[in-house]
């Protein structure tokens, strides 16, 4: 199964290529409409962009760009987007950048900077977990020993052109994984999936619920990690509590995770063991509430017991679902999840608003 190129990682790579000295080549680009339109943005910046047979050749400006730059493509809603925007602003102004994060969420811009030759310090800082004596001493002294990720980037004066490859979109791969997991007697291979730990958390979450997923071909080049996934029909999905640390690296795929949770079973007899609990990071609650409410309404249509609480979503799975009239409410990833639930419910009606999905993920020939 073929995937579209990961959009955010591609944007970061192509933008740095447009600032670099020389011609960078990005190979095997399966471009969505958003990616295709990004070529015009790069040309307006002053870069030369040639596209031939899914290969992008970008001749950079060596920081001689047209001012001012529009950074709307970066976004400004999530912590990693705010961090990336600040990194780019420091990059363009020749200023150093420094930050600390508890969880390294979507760090592709930081890794791309390192790939293009910038001096980047991106490391985990904190106590040695294997040092039991130090941990006991810290507890006795009531010293907090939280780990954190530290990023330090000195002023960048030049970037070097590179040959690059950006793996397939993790969200699209998660949709195909969900469909394969819930389809009887199915085995599928999904090619060249982005396995960057800060982007591919959804597969760890799926496996925690009991999905049968195996990385059958893992490849690394420089700062990039990707591979092929072998997915089989899930035979034993188990209700679990998923914590904020895990969900913070798969927030884009929450609707797909909720859809899989609809079919989980209890591992014990206690009431709490019958429920899958999706506990979101505190900073994400307000932003994701409209999406959570849309998920809740659709799961109720399917006859699934669920509820929204102050920290996320609770779902009590069942063997089979029924229902008509699913509505994705213009959330594309929810549309992907509901297309799977719609099929499981044997609904004769299409998902309402499903058109929004094809605007983001139009059909690929081998999809």
List the domain range (segments joined by +) for residue 86: 7-165
pTM assigned to the model: 0.89
Phi/psi zone of residue 276: left (φ > 0), alpha (ψ -120 to 50 degrees), beta?
beta
Instruction: Give dist(CA 322, CA 245) in Å, integer.
Output: 33
DSSP 365: T
How many C-alpha atoms does 62 have within 13 Å on its Cβ side?
A: 3
Three-state DSSP at 284 gives helix
CB contact at 8 A, 216 and 187: no
Final residue in a domain of this structure, among 165, 188, 209: 165
**Number of neighbouring beta carbons within 10 Å of residue 178:** 26
pLDDT given for residue 68 in this prediction: 84
12 & 149 share domain: yes
Tokens of 16: 């740095």
Three-state DSSP at 261 gives helix
Instruction: Give dist(CA 232, CA 318) in Å, integer.
Output: 20
pLDDT in tens, the chain (367 residues): 789 999 999 999 999 999 999 999 999 999 999 999 999 999 999 999 999 989 999 999 999 987 789 999 999 988 899 999 999 999 999 999 999 988 778 899 999 999 999 999 998 886 655 556 655 665 666 665 567 889 999 999 999 999 999 999 999 999 999 999 999 999 999 999 999 988 999 999 999 999 999 999 999 987 889 999 999 999 999 999 999 989 999 999 999 999 999 999 986 555 556 799 999 999 899 999 999 999 999 999 999 999 999 999 999 999 899 999 999 999 999 999 999 999 999 999 999 999 999 888 877 544 4
Q: Per-residue b/e over 2-27, b at no fewer than 16 CB within 10 Å?
A: ebbbbbbbbbbbbbbbbbbbebbebe
In total, how many domains does the chain have? 2
| 70: CB partners within 8 A, 6+ apart | 41
Instruction: Give dist(CA 252, CA 286) in Å, integer.
Output: 15
Tell me which residue of 215, 224, 17 sits closest to 116, measured CA to CA: 17
81 & 14 share domain: yes
Final residue in a domain of this structure, among 140, 165, 190: 165
* Residue 283 forms part of a structural domain: yes
* Residue 1 forms part of a structural domain: no
DSSP 262: T
283 & 135 share domain: no
Tell me which residue of 96, 117, 97 sits closest to 17, measured CA to CA: 117
66 & 189 share domain: no
- Which CATH number is 134's domain given? 3.65.10.10
304 & 349 share domain: yes
54 & 174 share domain: no
CB contact at 8 A, 19 and 65: yes
Cis status of the peptide bond prior to 68, with omega within 30 of 0: yes
Pairing label, strands 23-27, 163-165? parallel
């Amino acid at each position: 199964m073929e995937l579209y190129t990961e959009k955010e990682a591609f944007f970061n790579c192509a933008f740095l290529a447009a600032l670099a000295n020389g011609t960078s080549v990005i190979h095997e680009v399966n471009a969505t409409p958003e990616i295709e339109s990004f070529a015009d943005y790069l040309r307006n910046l002053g870069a030369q962009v040639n596209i031939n047979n899914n290969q992008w050749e970008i001749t950079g400006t060596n920081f001689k760009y047209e001012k001012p730059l529009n950074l709307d493509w970066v976004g400004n809603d999530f912590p990693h987007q705010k961090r990336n925007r600040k990194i780019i602003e420091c990059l363009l102004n020749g200023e150093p950048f420094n930050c600390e994060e508890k969880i390294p969420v979507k760090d592709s811009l930081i890794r791309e900077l390192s790939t293009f030759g910038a001096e980047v310090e991106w490391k985990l800082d904190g106590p040695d977990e294997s040092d039991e004596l130090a941990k006991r001493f810290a507890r006795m002294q009531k010293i907090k020993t939280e780990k954190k990720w530290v990023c330090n980037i000195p002023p960048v004066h030049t970037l070097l052109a590179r040959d690059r490859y950006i793996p397939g979109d993790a969200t699209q791969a998660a949709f195909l994984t969900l469909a394969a997991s819930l389809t009887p007697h199915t085995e599928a291979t999904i090619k060249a999936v982005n396995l960057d730990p800060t982007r591919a958390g959804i597969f760890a979450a799926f496996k925690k619920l009991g999905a049968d997923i195996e990385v059958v071909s893992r490849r690394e080049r420089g700062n990039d990690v990707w591979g092929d996934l072998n997915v089989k029909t899930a035979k034993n999905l188990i209700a679990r509590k998923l914590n904020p640390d895990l969900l913070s690296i798969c927030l884009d795929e929450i609707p797909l995770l909720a859809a899989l949770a609809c079919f989980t079973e209890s591992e014990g007899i206690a009431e709490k063991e019958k429920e899958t609990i999706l506990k979101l990071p505190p900073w994400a609650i307000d932003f994701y509430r409209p999406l959570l409410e849309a998920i809740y309404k659709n799961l109720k249509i399917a006859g699934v017991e669920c509820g929204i609480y102050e920290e996320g979503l609770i779902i009590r799975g069942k063997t089979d679902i029924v229902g008509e009239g699913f509505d994705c409410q213009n959330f594309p990833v929810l549309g992907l999840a509901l297309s799977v639930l719609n099929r499981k419910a044997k609904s004769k009606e299409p998902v309402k608003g499903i058109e929004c999905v094809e605007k983001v993920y139009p059909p690929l020939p081998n999809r």
